[in-house]
């Protein structure tokens, strides 16, 4: 078993996946630590071993999830993953967030076809739904809420962007509410609600300032913004309500956050920062997954003994191959000890958080068989 810092409680991944009250697992962590692979492996194991109807939602625009599941592409609609053992009755589906399409779906669902057409044609909406900072994270909340509301899935596994962006994922509802309640938005809504033009209000209220704003931003932009705000006015309450509902889902015991890190100082620092936030927000922190850890089958042979034996054999002669093997083992044990020390930076700060270590693989995971191997390692079984 891959070593962890002393007295670290073990994360029972199979217990988490098998528990019918676990409905959402959110995987968070820095980029490049195997988070997407972890999310996919959890999905495979939940479906095959525990017979759960599972969907994996990735918010990361990289295509690794589709590739590892043998799919040519992923989009905003769940696609069934082939090659999953359905003996226990489980299924696995996967999808990738399409930010603009999700925004379009929200608009279509909560307004009339005529008003939706007006919104879609508005240049400000076109820009906001595709490129504005924070829109992706809010739409991720929307999509998660949609998936949960259908009650179609036994388990939803969410693969978030790297952790700083994942914090935006948590902040999206509150940020949206602040935006909707902001002074500037109320000012923009006032002329639309009163039937006056945006410019008559601004000109009457601000005089020279309004002309400066128009010069800087452009009259057309202000017109587009005013029309956008007026068109969305009737939807704002719905936006806020759904955002608040999804946030409550994330705080519910049915959700479990799994932090994913590699045994590197920056990655461990990132998940520690995220753990602090989860604790502060009273969100259920399920555990820590330490990916790409190293171990040796002869762990009892220490660095010192390996190097001493290597020196003796090298001096004897005709034992160079054995001496070299001992030095390689010493280097591996030194790396293992370093990784355990790095992991302790997290486990010492959060001693009650259970952890599991996953052995570094000789090659990248690129198919369902590889995901099964990672799933077994997550469950503490031989790969």
Q: What pLDDT digit, counting tens, does each position of 313-333 carry?
A: 888 877 788 888 888 988 999
Instruction: State the Rg of the chain over Cα.
Output: 26
pLDDT-flagged residues of the chain (< 50): 192-210, 212-217
- Give the other-Cβ count within 10 Å of 166's Cβ: 28
CATH number where 151 lies: 3.40.50.300
180 with 166, same domain: the answer is: yes
Q: CB-based contacts of 125: which residues, under 8 Å, 6+ apart?
A: 119, 228, 231, 232
Confirm if 129 and 100 have CB atoms less than 8 A apart. Answer: yes
Distance, in Å, from the CA atom of 119 to the CA atom of 231, rounded to the nearest integer, reads 6
Looking at the structure, tell me whether residues 315 and 366 fall in a common domain.
no
Tokens of 250: 């994330």
Structure tokens, 75: 């989009």
Tokens of 41: 């492996």
Question: Tens digits of per-residue pLDDT, 33-56?
Answer: 999 899 999 999 999 999 999 999
Determine the Cα–Cα distance for residues 193 and 287; give it in Å rounded to an integer. 49
Instruction: Supply the range of the domain harboring residue 321.
Output: 303-333
Q: What pLDDT does residue 231 have?
A: 62
Q: How many CA atoms, within 13 angstroms, populate the side-chain half-sphere of residue 274?
A: 33
Is 258 in the same domain as 317?
no
Q: Is residue 207 part of a domain?
A: no
Whether residue 46 is found in the same domain as residue 110: yes
In this structure, the answer to whether residues 179 and 307 fall within a common structural domain is no
What is the number of structural domains in the chain? 2
Q: What confidence score (pLDDT) does residue 245 get?
A: 81
For residue 52, which phi and psi values (nearest 5 degrees)? -100, 140
According to DSSP, residue 134 is labeled T
Rounded CA separation 162/26 (Å): 12
In a domain, residue 233? The reply is no
Report the pLDDT value the prediction gives residue 180, as an integer from 0 to 100.
55
Q: Is residue 46 part of a domain?
A: yes
Tokens of 91: 């299924």
Instruction: Give every CB contact of residue 83 below 8 A, 6+ residues apart in sequence.
Output: 70, 368
């Amino acid at each position: 078993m891959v070593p962890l810092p002393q007295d670290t409680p073990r994360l029972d991944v199979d217990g988490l996946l098998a528990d019918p009250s676990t409905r959402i697992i959110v995987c968070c962590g820095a980029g490049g630590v195997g988070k997407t692979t972890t999310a996919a492996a959890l999905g495979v194991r939940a479906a095959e071993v525990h017979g759960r109807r599972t969907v994996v939602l990735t918010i990361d625009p990289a295509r690794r999830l589709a590739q590892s599941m043998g799919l040519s592409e992923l989009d905003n609609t769940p696609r069934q993953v082939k090659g999953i053992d359905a003996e226990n009755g489980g299924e696995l589906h996967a999808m990738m967030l399409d930010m603009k399409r999700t925004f379009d779906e929200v608009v279509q669902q909560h307004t009339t076809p005529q008003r939706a057409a007006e919104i879609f044609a508005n240049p400000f909406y076109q820009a906001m739904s595709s490129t504005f900072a924070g829109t992706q994270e809010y739409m991720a909340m929307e999509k998660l809420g949609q998936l949960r509301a259908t009650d179609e899935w036994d388990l939803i596994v969410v693969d978030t962007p790297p952790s700083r962006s994942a914090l935006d994922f948590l902040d999206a509802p509150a940020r949206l509410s602040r935006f909707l309640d902001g002074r500037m938005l109320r000012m923009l809504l006032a002329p639309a609600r009163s039937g006056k033009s945006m410019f008559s209000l601004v000109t009457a209220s601000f005089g020279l300032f309004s002309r400066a704003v128009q010069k800087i931003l452009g009259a057309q932009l202000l017109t587009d913004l005013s029309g956008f705000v007026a068109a969305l006015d009737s939807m704002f309450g719905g936006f806020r309500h759904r955002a608040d509902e999804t946030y409550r889902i994330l705080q519910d015991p049915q959700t479990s956050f799994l932090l994913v890190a590699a045994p590197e100082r920056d990655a461990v620092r990132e998940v520690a920062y995220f753990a602090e936030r989860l604790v502060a927000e009273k969100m259920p922190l399920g555990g820590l997954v330490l990916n790409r850890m190293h171990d040796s089958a002869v762990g009892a042979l220490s660095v010192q003994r390996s190097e001493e034996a290597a020196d003796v054999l090298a001096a004897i002669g005709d034992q160079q191959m054995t001496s070299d093997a001992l030095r390689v083992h010493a280097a591996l044990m030194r790396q293992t000890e370093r990784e355990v020390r790095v992991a302790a930076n997290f486990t010492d700060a959060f001693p009650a958080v259970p952890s599991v270590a996953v052995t570094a693989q000789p090659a990248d995971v690129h198919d369902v068989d590889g995901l099964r191997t990672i799933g077994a390692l997550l469950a503490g079984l031989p790969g």
